[in-house]
Amino acid sequence: MSDNTFKESYGVLQRHAQTLRKQTEPNIDDLLSIVEESVAAYKVCQTRIDAVEKALEKALGGATTGTTVTSEPAATKIPAPGQEPDDIPF
């Protein structure tokens, strides 16, 4: 999966998250492959995000006004009861 793009890998994560959300009973037979594919896709996404952050920091160098790009995740919005979250962080 390391040859996949960010978009392809993110799509894998979205599909697996949707599959897991829709399950009423856990499908143990598919769980291992879902987890392995998701971990590989996550690594591709994280590598690309890190590369973009480094490139932005280099490109913006001293052009910022005290704002820095960090890899800290944004605050997670907790859905109201009965609502599904927009994304499942892995």
- Other C-beta atoms closer than 10 Å to the C-beta of 67 total 7
Tell me which amino acid residue 54 is: K
Number of folded domains that form the chain:
1
- For the entire predicted model, the pTM comes to 0.62
| Residue range(s) defining the domain that contains residue 56 | 6-60
Digit-coded pLDDT (tens) for 4-52: 899 999 999 999 999 999 999 888 899 999 999 999 999 999 999 999 9
Digit-coded pLDDT (tens) for 55-73: 999 999 866 555 555 555 5
- Domain-embedded: residue 28: yes
- Domain-embedded: residue 68: no
